[in-house]
Chain A
């Protein structure tokens, strides 16, 4: 794997050079860093715990005690937003990883083995893609039950088909390359070729896809949570917080606004960064 790490390191250097000229990607990285910092340091920065309630202080306005006021349950909104970053990122990341994993396995197997395996798997993927992925996720939650964990499964599964397609395309391209033929002629097993020779070469597009997918996952999770499919409404996940504010009378409007803004900023960050990554990889959009 030594060649791989050398490759990664050189790619990173190349990317860093590219970044200096790409303003939107810089902005994206900044936003993601901000959200990541909130998630990582919530425990130190947040003045209150995410479930810690101040008795009988509902909808308190912003003050020094409560930077953004309190929510309908008397909990500090600012602290919850910070912890919310943790939950939101963790859920979206898990869902995206699940999509990537499932999509990569299906795509790689289909692309590598071809013939009836390819036909079977890809028709199944076509079938899945004929449903809007959001609807598919809704159905999945309806079957699995309402909870954040199930949202991960639902969004993860619903997102897998598009990854599978792209990974398959990449594997198809690599399949006919000389190094694969060389490995085959040396008598290596299919698993070894797939895992050690083909997949590492798919890594870059997978990372780009994953980054772009994160924004989508956050939106899907928030959307499903807003529809009331997120289970316990008091978990500080931004979609659930938005929903909780929405369910209150006009006093909940502020909570809707700030939770929505957090979602917006994060998705924007991931999309900008993902676009940057794509531009970097696409030879047409830049001169190497």
Chain B
């Protein structure tokens, strides 16, 4: 008996050993070329066309590139963005912003060794916009942003011409989105051979197929959503990066992240608590970078009339909006956040009419409480138990998800609504939204390209489904759609004259919130990165992404 047991144990041990020794050992000589990056976020989908989470984009941005890119950030509100060349060196806008012709950069290689040419760009965009593409990704949250492409042509190897359905002055902004990062044709062909989107997603993680300065070199460098190692791409067109390995680790606890950077155990981290900023600024070993980021945190209220949530009644939504008090939220950010009353954050151009607040936000506290109580009574939902979905891990705009959600619960209690908090993983939230099975959700949105369209369209607009019916888009947390709102979003987006466009967006803000109240905008938060002061040459762009292709360690 004993011997049998011993044998079994020995076998188990033998099985165990190789499992422990798998990952890549970083040798001593390489250590100085390694940058250890701690992130507050996890990464779930490393397919640029399928992802919509900030956690993914930070990693995708190291591996993939688009035709144009956002400029480097300067602190303070961003002006109308000017796009910089990336994979395209030059572009021409013709026919009242209906035809865009890009000249491609020469000598650009994909990670798989193939060269960038016009056909590759065409093929990559086709995968994003074509329904039932053979290499279709798991989902395409940004397909609507590029849905107005009518035709893509490649007149020669270095030229790509996009013809749009209608004039679109913000097409460059949409082309700068991570969803429009170019994926190699070889990869798309390979993925087309696989029969499910999930398999394709896995394939693309193991075979990074961009043109960017870094890539996942081996399958075992990707260790789930918690950790991934990127290797420098020696054939990068901008020159091989000096830092040879980037090791990304997800670590939700802000204290541990801060301590590790202070102790030199990690070289780079994001999303530090504003209460720590003073100390970090004073510390000579650390560079703290903060800026007015383009984001908004908001409470979404399910407007879906086919669902039976109390929030489908506008009176309930108004009541909630009335009693939510932004002061304590902003207070928790130690001056690193400003209250928001409209959708478009104050940190970007267009929209946000000066000092304007929707009617629900202008009452005194007592008046708001009384009116809200009356509205809740009239709607007949007094004492209703409502679930509030919130993310488990902090987001850059939502540094204290549970604490702030609890404040909302406190604030809604006096008007007779019982709120139950339900923290969920970001991936789960992504799946929940299209189904719309929740009443309230506390989340936010980070702007990708400084365009109001990038807020209105994903958050409060819809797309036509197969049957030709309008339905809210996949990031529309409030499950709200109104054809007139849709029309006005379209109209504002097509207006080439900047001042007219600004007015259209302002009018839309001043009308839509009072009319429908699908969301309660709460605040816009500054963002932060901290890195060891030995690290130089980090570039942060107006899309809030950091780039390390020109980064190096000071001797």
A residues near B (Cβ < 8 Å) are 53, 55-56, 58, 72-74, 232-234, 246-251
B273, A55: Cβ atoms closer than 8 Å: no
Interface contact A249-B410, CB-CB below 8 Å: no
What residues of chain A lie closer than 8 Å to B403, measured between beta carbons? 72-73, 247-248
Q: Does B507 contact A (CB under 8 A)?
A: no
Interface of A is mostly: loop
A155 to B367, CA, bound (A): 49
**Contact of A251 with B275 at beta-carbon distance under 8 Å, contacts A56-B331, A58-B331 already known:** yes
Q: Which of A53, A233, A246, A247 contacts B410 (CB 8 A)?
A: A53
- Lowest 6 A-B CB distances belong to which pairs? A249-B275, A53-B410, A56-B328, A73-B406, A234-B406, A233-B402
Q: In the bound complex, how far is the Cα of B399 from the Cα of A249, in angstroms?
A: 11
* A contact residues around B400 at 8 Å (CB): 247
**What residues on B are CB-neighbors of A74 within 8 Å?**
328, 410
Which residues of chain A are near B421, meaning CB under 8 Å?
232, 234
Min CB distance B2 to A, Å, is 12
A234 to B275, CA, bound (A): 22
- Kindly list chain A residues whose C-beta atoms are within 8 Å of the C-beta of B410: 53, 55, 73-74
**Are the CB atoms of A73 and B276 closer together than 8 Å?**
no
**Residues of A contacting B407 in the complex (Cβ-Cβ under 8 angstroms):** 73
A233 to B404, CA, bound (A): 12
With a cutoff of 8 Å between Cβ atoms, the chain B residues found around residue A55 in the complex are 325, 328, 410-411
State the Cβ distance, A115 to closest chain B Cβ, in Å.
Answer: 15
Nearest-CB residue, chain A, relative to B405: A234
Which residues of chain A come closer than 8 Å to B402, judged between CB atoms? 233-234
Sort chain B's interface into a size bin. 10 to 19
- The distance from the CB of A73 to the nearest CB of chain B, in whole angstroms, is 5
Contact assessment for A56 and B327 in the assembled complex, using a CB-CB cutoff below 8 Å: yes
- Check if B332 is an interface residue, CB within 8 A of chain A: yes
Contact bitstring B274-308, A, C-beta under 8 A = 1, else 0: 01100000000000000000000000000000000
Residue of B with least CB distance to A75: B410
The complex places the Cα of A71 from the Cα of B276 at a distance, in Å, of: 19
CB distance from B253 to the nearest CB of A (A): 8
Cα separation A56 to B328 with both chains bound (whole Å): 6
Which residue of chain A has its CB nearest to the CB of B273?
A: A249
22 of the cross-chain contacts (CB-CB < 8 Å) are A55-B328, A55-B411, A56-B327, A56-B328, A56-B331, A58-B328, A58-B331, A58-B332, A73-B403, A73-B406, A73-B407, A74-B410, A232-B421, A233-B402, A234-B406, A247-B400, A247-B403, A249-B273, A249-B275, A249-B276, A250-B275, A251-B275
Instruction: For the complex formed, measure the closest distance between the CB of B271 and the CB atoms of chain A, giving whole angstroms.
Output: 13
CA distance A250 to B255 in the complex (A): 10
Instruction: Name which residue of chain B comes closest to A234, CB basis.
Output: B406
Contacts of A232 in B (CB 8 A): 421
Closest to B421 in A: A232
Cβ proximity bits B514-525 to A, threshold 8 Å, 1 near / 0 not: 000000000000
Q: With the chains together, A232 CA to B275 CA distance in Å?
A: 25
Chain B 391-420 near chain A by CB (<8 Å), digits 1 or 0: 000000000101100110011000000000
Please name all residues of chain B whose beta carbon is closer than 8 Å to the beta carbon of A58 when the two chains form the complex: 328, 331-332
CA A234 to CA B331, docked complex, whole Å: 20
B273 / chain A contacts, CB cutoff of 8 Å:
249
